[in-house]
Amino acid sequence: MTATIPAGVETARDLVGPAIAAAVATLSPDVRAVAAYHLGLADADGTPSAAVPSGKALRPALALLSTRAAGASPEQGVPAAAAVELVHNFSLVHDDIMDGDTERRHKPTAWTVFGVGAAILAGDAMLVLAQDILLEGPAPNSLWASRCLSASVQRLIAGQGADLAFERRDDITLEQCRQMAGDKTAALMACACSIGAIYVGAPADLAMGLAGFGAHAGLAFQLTDDLLGIWGAPEVTGKPVRADLRARKKSLPVVAALTSGTAAADQLGALLASPDPLSEDDLLRAAALVEEAGGRAWAETEADSQLAAAGQCLSDTQMPADVRAEFAGIAEFITARQS
Amino acid sequence: MTATIPAGVETARDLVGPAIAAAVATLSPDVRAVAAYHLGLADADGTPSAAVPSGKALRPALALLSTRAAGASPEQGVPAAAAVELVHNFSLVHDDIMDGDTERRHKPTAWTVFGVGAAILAGDAMLVLAQDILLEGPAPNSLWASRCLSASVQRLIAGQGADLAFERRDDITLEQCRQMAGDKTAALMACACSIGAIYVGAPADLAMGLAGFGAHAGLAFQLTDDLLGIWGAPEVTGKPVRADLRARKKSLPVVAALTSGTAAADQLGALLASPDPLSEDDLLRAAALVEEAGGRAWAETEADSQLAAAGQCLSDTQMPADVRAEFAGIAEFITARQS
């Protein structure tokens, strides 16, 4: 496993970034300022700070690869890639409000700078831009791509809705948690991996093979992220150590531990149910209990098997060998545990 | 002028309501509960309370009329009408959060019942549903209708963004205020009046004539609403008396007064700039100053001339006489000042 950013991700940023910047430039001044700030195109006072968005461009890279998988040039997939990245950022801006997160990409989140109202609007605007970019393309492919995107946005919303509801519940089954992660993370990843192909008119079996790869890789990615949220080093995750435990997030390893039927599960449940803030000692103990209850091992095994399933989808789907290798490289990159 | 609800509005509710209810039923349980509550389809605890949404169905009625203007049956325009109404409700749910409004349609607003996060998601979901309902229809008309809707949603977002920004400014020109109202209210009304025609493949000149009617009628509607927000009786508006003044809203009559260059304008500006809550006496005085500065007369004259311009658009556009009469009836209904 490697932690080096695959070259395709950098290329995608250069290719897709200008399309995103151009789309954001069409927004009204008040809304544009917030979207541009969130994307790293401008400072909080409106001063332009970059020509292309500062995010990792992972989803655009996958979308361009899927265009190439269908035998088209990456350039032809730019609208599809820009649409997926705008949807991803719509969800980040809205989720930051809902989760009360104050920092993202080492900057204060949009709602803390511009207010909740302005951040809601900026998210809304990016969502509409995404659909509109797609629909500028020639029908019927643009239309199919748009419907594919809509379906994944509804799953993304469903997943975030379940995640919020889980905060108030202590009876989540592992299956419900996996469904939530599938909706919240894997659905948009599946869309990113197939929308470029759909947008250039690929046959259904190619699109479905790519979507299957994306869904499995997306789940592996979420499992890895959950593991890093408990055991990852702050310098790798960009978040405080054990941040997810502190927030009592019902992540996959935690739910796997809680539903393990072990003594450690009961102790973990009691610890997380306490109404008081968790001390550093509590957090260390919680992490140890997740491990003792088998939550860590389960998540590691599950991540590996999802990654293997993703690889199987790749092998089973016809595409140029170099494209397949790049897909595999990105899947490995996003599931590298670096621990 | 009449305050009786035109028959077409009731018919539209019966025709379009089931399509909206069916769309909402496809959402995930957590998100569906919030959307159904907001639309009056269910109580806060999830108990179904009605088969069709409880709103006035004004925009659906306009959309179905525009379908008929193009020579098609109202049934053919149902997806377009449902899409506009879903967008309208998306904006209500999000605006209630931004404006901190706690009551709508004589019920607690969605965010006060389910929390801000869940209400953001329900709004997002209704926005996506709107686009998806349209795109289920046959291309290319569905595609044009979808792009027409996207464009009006972006204006709606721009208008709400400007409205929020105006709260922190005391130098709004009347032209900026009119632009804001055009974006926030008139754009979706123009879309409602033309999207049905576009959806059934009407020629561009019909669609443009109908959109012009909707834009003028929408501005007349906003001016009327602004006047009622200051001088309307609470039993008519459903809001506390002088609620807009209490919230120091930079509505059109207020900005017309503030920019009148009169002594009353200066006094009004000083009154609204005071950091303290406004007493009942202050509110009475503010209303009197808006009137003295000419804001009320300006808004009344402007509403009448926008209504006349809407009527002119109707006369200039070819459509069946009964459809034209129904459009005119709705325009009169929504601008009846009842004072």
Q: Report ipTM (2 d.p.).
A: 0.93
Q: Is A147 on the interface with B (CB under 8 A)?
A: yes
Residue A1 belongs to a domain: no
Round to whole Å and give the CA distance between B83 and A67: 31
Beta carbons within 8 Å of A274's beta carbon, 6+ residues apart: none
Beta carbons within 8 Å of A53's beta carbon, 6+ residues apart: A13, A17, A20, A21, A39, A40, A41, A85, A89
Q: Is B157 on the interface with A (CB under 8 A)?
A: yes
Residue B257 has what pLDDT? 97
Global confidence as pTM: 0.94
Nearest CB to A139; choose among B140, B162, B165 = B140
Round to whole Å and give the CA distance between B86 and A130: 18
Longest dimension (CA), chain B: 59
Residue A40 belongs to a domain: yes
CB contact under 8 A, B120 and A132: no
Structural domains counted in chain A: 1
**CATH code assigned at A306:** 1.10.600.10
Residue B339 belongs to a domain: no
Residue A20 has what pLDDT? 97
Residue B1 has what pLDDT? 41
Residue B2 has what pLDDT? 45
Residue A55 belongs to a domain: yes
Round to whole Å and give the CA distance between B9 and B12: 5
Residue B325 belongs to a domain: yes
**CB–CB contacts below 8 A, A to B:** 138
Q: Which two tokens stand for residue A171?
A: 């009876």
Count CB neighbours of A304 within 10 A: 15
Residue B192 belongs to a domain: yes
Q: Which two tokens stand for residue B302?
A: 């402007």
Count CB neighbours of A46 within 10 A: 12
CB contact under 8 A, A164 and B124: no
What is the identity of the amino acid at B174? L
Q: Is A89 on the interface with B (CB under 8 A)?
A: no
Nearest CB to B161; choose among A30, A140, A142 = A30
Min Cα distance B214 → chain A (Å) is: 22
Q: Is B112 on the interface with A (CB under 8 A)?
A: no
Q: Could you tell me where the DSSP H helices lie in chain A?
A: 7-25, 29-39, 58-69, 78-99, 110-114, 116-135, 141-166, 174-181, 187-199, 204-231, 234-237, 243-246, 252-258, 263-273, 280-292, 295-316, 321-334
Round to whole Å and give the CA distance between A43 and B83: 36
Per-residue pLDDT tens digits of chain B, which is 339 residues long: 446 888 888 899 999 999 999 999 999 999 999 999 999 999 999 999 998 898 889 999 999 999 999 999 999 999 999 999 999 999 999 999 998 989 888 899 999 999 999 999 999 999 999 999 999 998 889 999 999 999 999 999 999 999 999 988 889 999 999 999 999 999 999 999 999 999 999 999 999 999 999 999 999 999 999 999 899 887 777 677 787 888 888 899 999 999 999 999 999 999 999 888 999 999 999 999 999 999 999 999 999 999 999 999 999 999 999 999 999 999 999 998 764
- In this structure, the dihedral spanned by the alpha carbons of residues B228, B234, B235 and B239, taken in order and rounded to 10 degrees, is 90
Q: Is A131 on the interface with B (CB under 8 A)?
A: yes
Residue B1 belongs to a domain: no
Residues of the domain holding A239: 7-334
Q: In which residue ranges of chain A is pLDDT below 70? A: 1-3, 238, 338-339
In the DSSP assignment, the letter for residue A183 is I
Q: Is B188 on the interface with A (CB under 8 A)?
A: no
Identify any residues that bridge with B48 across adjacent strands, giving them in sequence order: B42
Backbone φ and ψ for B317, nearest 5 degrees, come out as: -110, 130
Among A307, A112, A110, A103, smallest CA distance to A221 is for: A307
Q: Is A117 on the interface with B (CB under 8 A)?
A: yes
Q: Is B113 on the interface with A (CB under 8 A)?
A: no
Residue B3 has what pLDDT? 64
Among A248, A201, A253, A204, smallest CA distance to A227 is for: A253
CB contact under 8 A, B150 and A135: yes
Nearest CB to B28; choose among A31, A123, A158 = A158
What is the identity of the amino acid at A35? A
Nearest CB to A135; choose among B147, B154, B164 = B147
Residue A176 has what pLDDT? 96
Residue B169 belongs to a domain: yes
CB contact under 8 A, A154 and B125: yes
Residue B55 has what pLDDT? 82
CB contact under 8 A, A30 and B162: yes
